[in-house]
Amino acid sequence: MSYEEVFPKFMKESLEKLILLPTYGERGAGRLIYNLLKLPVEKRLEVVKALEKMAEKIKTCIECGLYTEEEICSICSNPKRSKKFICVVEEPQDAFAIEKLERYAGVYHVLGGRIAPLEGVSPNNLKIDSLLERIERYKAKEVILATNPNVEGEATALYLSKLIKKQFPNIKITRISQGLQFGSLIEFVDELSLEKSIENRRSLG
Ligand SMILES: [Zn+2]
């Protein structure tokens, strides 16, 4: 009897779909499937239905790129949030990590990654044009560069600060830094350190 015959067809099909998730791999996908199958059938279906609803309803905000159920997210459409402050992040989860602190009153801009030449990611692959366009349209006072504190994140912040300064010489550009361990990911940093790093952000010019 071959492995093909032993391994249930529907599990194989699900595994093949889950492997499509970036960075997940066969092990990650397998773990998810086995854990899901440990649940009673009705619980499994609850998980899958929630995922289905999310997959269908969630889109990215046409302004900032955050995940939202509307065309424009609840931050961009909130008149209490100041568009004079734009916090630039790599991914939506970074913005949500900062939002959890409930301290930041500006808006975000999701780049959709960071400059990583070794992985073939150049500035052209990131949402930089729309950032410049928003800075201009909002007449922003400050751009907070909150890319991750690692080699690529720092390089991306440096690249952006030069580019922005060239086009908007009077704008304040800051970088979150203090209290964040080099190599950590904003998404997983503890709240106190993250809050400090934003409060003590340093000026890049
Ligand atoms: Zn938005």
- Per-residue pLDDT tens digits for 20-66: 988 888 889 999 999 999 999 999 999 999 999 999 999 999 999 99
77 alpha carbon to ligand 1 midpoint, in Å?
Answer: 7
**Domain 80-203 classified CATH 3.40.1360.10?**
yes
Burial of 15 (0-12, 13-18, 19+ CB in 10 A): middle
175 band by pLDDT with thresholds 50, 70 and 90: very high
The whole-angstrom separation of Cα 197 and Cα 202 is 9
pLDDT (average), residues 181-185? 80
Architecture category of domain 3-53 in CATH? Orthogonal Bundle (1.10)
pLDDT at 144 over 80: yes
Separation in Å, CA 1 to CA 5, 7, 8, 20, 187 = 7, 11, 13, 28, 46
pLDDT (average), residues 182-187? 83
62 alpha carbon to ligand 1 midpoint, in Å?
Answer: 7
Task: Give the domain ranges of the chain.
Answer: 3-53, 80-203
The whole-angstrom separation of Cα 167 and Cα 169 is 6
Reduced to 3 states (helix: H, G, I; strand: E, B; else coil), residue 147 is coil
66 alpha carbon to ligand 1 midpoint, in Å?
Answer: 5
pTM of the model: 0.88
The whole-angstrom separation of Cα 189 and Cα 194 is 6
pLDDT (average), residues 84-89? 97
197 band by pLDDT with thresholds 50, 70 and 90: confident
Contact (Cβ atoms closer than 8 angstroms) between residue 94 and residue 186: yes
- Beta-carbon neighbours within 5 Å of ion ligand 1: 61, 63-64, 66, 73, 76
Kind of pairing between the strands at 106-110 and 172-175: unpaired
pLDDT (average), residues 136-152? 95
The residues with which 68 forms a beta bridge, in sequence order, are 59
